[in-house]
């Protein structure tokens, strides 16, 4: 699971009003290099929830992102784009769990795949 996906996933358990962002329990983190796509990064920048991305990156062992929400002028910086690209697309949670911020329910992540299916009594 890429952090691009983590920034989208939200716990949708019945009764949960704020299921975002999911906590991360990282057992195994891997890196896989991906070609950089500046169009994509510029497009996603406004949609990313910055703090959750910074926090998730840190849990995954990457601390090079600016702490505060950067101004969109940073998109002109090649260096920023590289870091943003790396955090969003190249760091993978391979084994671990995602944790609902409201209920603590854990969604397992195995072989890089989060299982977000709910139990009968959660829908």
Partner 1 sequence: MSGFKTCGSSNLDTSLLGVESIAREEQSVPASPILKECVASSVQSTPEIEKKYVHRVYDAIAPHFSSTRFAKWPKVATFLNSLAPGSLILDAGCGNGKYLGLTPDSVFIGCDISAPLVGICADRGNEVVVADAVNLPYRSGYGDAAISIAVLHHLSTEIRRKKAIDELVRVVKRGGLVLITVWAVEQEDKTLLNKWTPLTDKYVDEWIGPGSPRTRSSSPFSLGSSSSFTLESIPEAEENGLKEKLNKFRDSSSAVKGSENGLVASEGQDHFMDFEAGEEGESHQEYFVPWHLPYHRAEVSGASVGAVASGLAKKDDKKGAIVYNRYYHVFSQGELERLVSGMKNAVVVDRFYDKSNWCIILRRTE
**For 8, which DSSP code?**
T
Q: Which stretch binds partner 1 (CB under 8 A): 43-51, 53-61, 64-72, 73-81?
A: 43-51
Measured CA distances, 34 to 24, 38, 87, 90 (Å):
22, 12, 11, 6
Candidates 38, 63, 66, 67; binder of partner 1 (CB under 8 A) is 38
Task: Identify the burial level of 59 via C-beta atoms within 10 angstroms of its C-beta, where 0-12 means exposed, 13-18 middle and 19 or more buried.
Answer: middle
**Interaction residues for partner 1, span 49-88 (CB under 8 A):** none
Q: Which stretch binds partner 1 (CB under 8 A): 54-62, 66-74, 75-83, 110-118?
A: 110-118
- For partner 1, the closer CB: 43 or 63: 43
- Shortest approach of partner 1 to residue 88 CB, angstroms? 9
**DSSP for residue 12:** -
CB atoms within 10 A of CB 7: 21
Determine how many CB atoms are found less than 10 A away from the CB of residue 3. Answer: 25
Nearer to partner 1, 40 or 63 (CB): 40
Residues that bind partner 1 (CB under 8 A): 1-2, 4-5, 7-20, 37-44, 47, 89, 111-118, 120, 123
């Amino acid at each position: 699971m890429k952090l691009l996906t983590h920034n989208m996933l939200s716990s949708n358990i019945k009764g949960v009003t704020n299921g975002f962002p999911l906590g991360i329990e990282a057992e195994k983190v891997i890196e896989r290099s991906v070609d950089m796509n500046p169009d994509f990064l510029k497009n996603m920048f406004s949609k990313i929830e910055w703090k959750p991305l910074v926090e998730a990156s840190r849990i995954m062992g990457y601390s090079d992102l600016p702490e505060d929400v950067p101004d969109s002028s940073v998109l002109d910086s090649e260096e920023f784009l590289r870091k943003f690209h790396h955090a969003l697309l190249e760091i993978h949670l391979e084994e671990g769990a995602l944790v609902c911020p409201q209920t603590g329910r854990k969604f397992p992540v195995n072989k890089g795949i989060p299982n977000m299916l709910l139990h009968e009594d959660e829908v």
